[in-house]
Structure 1
Amino acid sequence: MVMETLQLERRDGGIATIRLNRPEKRNALSPHMLVELERAFEQLCGDEQVRVIVLEANGTAFCAGADLEYLQAMSRYSSLENLSDSLVLERTFRTIYRCPKATIAKVHGPAIAGGCGLATICDFIVASRQKALFGYSEVRIGFIPAIVGAYLLQKVGDSIARRLLLSAELITADEAHRIGLVSYVVEHDQLDIATAELAEKLAANSASSIALTKRLLDGMHGMALDGALHYAAALNVIARGTDDCRQRIAEFLHQSKSSQ
């Protein structure tokens, strides 16, 4: 697939990389980039050879939010055009969030507004201690963090979400880790190694189990306890019936007998 705003790379071991590639624009989001992101994730999410997807970026910034030309165009949109545009962002974020593969955002620089949203919807964020910054700056220019707000609320809870979304403050990688937004903080020169190690660790796990566990966590949000337990039991039945589960159990039992 030829992309104008992204670079796609598949590596051995079931790991794929999607790289934001508008460094001259600090990887700012444009309508075209959002469409390409959706297509890229759809392609990789449907590829049985891919187990882990790493989202990263070229240049000094991870993603600076919306492109300035995009913002100018939005200021002239009609209500219907604004709705249509919002649905593009909603669909792209949903595609990434619902991807059955494990997803990692490798954040080497500022991740602002929609760029911070992109990182938020990944399963893991690995961030540079020295150079990564995180912030949802929408309220400073009259927008609201409408789409990402739903995901951030699930990730960090109401109190932290209110702090970040209403203040529009920029926070460091260490602070983002402290409040539960970032999974791992590493020295900048260790970012590539740390991300690769995490990706390899995730790729070694059962692909079907990863997909079903993500479905489990997503589905249980908002459920009462009884409903969540029934839902979990139903997914457990599906997991135990997969070929991967049977094969891994057989391998585990064989290894256990061999070690006795």
Structure 2
Amino acid sequence: MSAFQTIIVKKQDNFAEIVLNRPEKRNALNKQMVDELSAAFKSLKTEDRIRVVVLKGEGKAFCSGADLAYLKELRNFDYQKNLEDSLNLGNLFLKIYAFPKPIIAIVQGPALAGGCGLASVCDLILATPNAIFGYPEVKIGFVAALVSAFLIRQIGERKARELLLTGKILNAQQAFNYGLINELVQEPELEIKLKETIKDLMANGPQAMATTKQLFLDFTYQEIFSEIKKLSKVNAKFRSSPEFLEGINSFLEKRTPNWRS
């Protein structure tokens, strides 16, 4: 696999690790990282010896959401550019969600906004007590549109409404209680738990697991695929609104937003 700049792909025996590698930016998402993640998953999908994929972040964060420089660029995007950008991230979420092999997300710090979405579309999430989760987009005039298609199915509409409307941040225990993560693991035990989980998955028939994942897709994929296209349009349209621009500007200028009805 060719070298990447924003991620690292490590292959060990029958599993691979994809490491978000922008620790100085808390592994924030930008277009390059989204493109490289998409390419990495595409390559690993057809590599028969790789049966499990682990997604993790370098440093103290899993992924803190959108990159600051990227947010500055968004202010100048037109509708078409915003639509392309939204579809790009939405298609990455779909690619991970539809991946035929089990994906384990390891979250040891912040997983926020798009970063929380990235973890949410994985099959399993192992988190340490230092992890935090949330979709705080509404606090700066964003709409967490893309992830809503997955979140409602995972934790139910009532909890999804609460998270997306309030923008509240959950600690690891709260995230576990919400059903957002699978297991809460103490930091010293994380590596052991990860190895155990990989071993358990490796003991299963690879085609049986792939078929099991396909069963979920048969029920949901076409519906979610259609929703992602619609939600990308919602995203693109809202990004042209005065409220969105005020939200970005207030965030970048470190001031309270001046919302107007």
TM range (shorter): 0.7 to 0.9
Tell me which amino acid in the other structure corresponds to 2:190. L
Which residue is equivalent to 1:11?
12
Stretches of structure 2 that go unaligned for 5 or more consecutive residues are: 223-261
Which residue is equivalent to 1:112?
112
Structure 2 SS opposite 1:143 = coil
Which residue is equivalent to 1:54?
54
Whole-angstrom distance in 1 between the partners of 2:131 and 2:138: 21
Structure 2 SS opposite 1:2 = coil
Structure 1 SS opposite 2:47 = coil
Structure 1 SS opposite 2:180 = coil
Whole-angstrom distance in 2 between the partners of 1:94 and 1:79: 22
Tell me which amino acid in the other structure corresponds to 2:184. V
Whole-angstrom distance in 1 between the partners of 2:105 and 2:136: 19
CA contact (8 A) 1:15 1:200 kept: no
Which residue is equivalent to 1:203?
202
Tell me which amino acid in the other structure corresponds to 2:57. A
Q: How far has the Cα of 1:188 moved from its partner?
A: 1.4
Whole-angstrom distance in 1 between the partners of 2:176 and 2:70: 31
Stretches of structure 1 that go unaligned for 5 or more consecutive residues are: 224-260
Deviations 1:63-83 (A, max 9, x none): 000000001101110001000
- The verdict on how the C-alpha distance between 1:203 and 1:166 changes in structure 2, with shifts beyond 3 A counting, is same
Tell me which amino acid in the other structure corresponds to 1:122. C
Which residue is equivalent to 1:95?
95
Q: How far has the Cα of 1:90 moved from its partner?
A: 0.9
Whole-angstrom distance in 1 between the partners of 2:21 and 2:162: 31
Structure 1 length as normaliser, TM-score? 0.83
Which residue is equivalent to 1:36?
36
Structure 2 length as normaliser, TM-score? 0.82
Deviations 1:25-66 (A, max 9, x none): 000000000000000011111111111000001111110000
Tell me which amino acid in the other structure corresponds to 1:136. Y
Correspondences of 1:162-181 after superposition (within 5 Å): 162-181=161-180
Say which one has the larger Rg. 1
Tell me which amino acid in the other structure corresponds to 2:176. H
Which residue is equivalent to 1:186?
185
CA contact (8 A) 1:108 1:191 kept: no
Aligned length: 221
Whole-angstrom distance in 1 between the partners of 2:94 and 2:195: 25
Structure 2 SS opposite 1:69 = helix
Deviations 1:80-125 (A, max 9, x none): 1000100100111111110000000000111010000010000000
Which residue is equivalent to 1:125?
125
Whole-angstrom distance in 1 between the partners of 2:166 and 2:198: 33
Which residue is equivalent to 1:77?
77
Q: How far has the Cα of 1:21 moved from its partner?
A: 0.3
Q: How far has the Cα of 1:222 moved from its partner?
A: 9.4
Whole-angstrom distance in 2 between the partners of 1:115 and 1:19: 13
Structure 2 SS opposite 1:63 = coil
Whole-angstrom distance in 2 between the partners of 1:73 and 1:133: 27
Which residue is equivalent to 1:145?
144
CA contact (8 A) 1:138 1:168 kept: yes
Tell me which amino acid in the other structure corresponds to 2:208. S
Which residue is equivalent to 1:134?
133
Whole-angstrom distance in 2 between the partners of 1:221 and 1:38: 21
Whole-angstrom distance in 1 between the partners of 2:173 and 2:202: 26
Deviations 1:102-160 (A, max 9, x none): 0000001110100000100000000002x100011111111111111111111111001
Whole-angstrom distance in 2 between the partners of 1:146 and 1:44: 28
Q: How far has the Cα of 1:221 moved from its partner?
A: 3.7
- % same residue: 43
Whole-angstrom distance in 2 between the partners of 1:166 and 1:193: 37
Whole-angstrom distance in 2 between the partners of 1:66 and 1:174: 25
Highest relative contact order (Cα 8 Å, sep 6+), 1 or 2?
A: 2
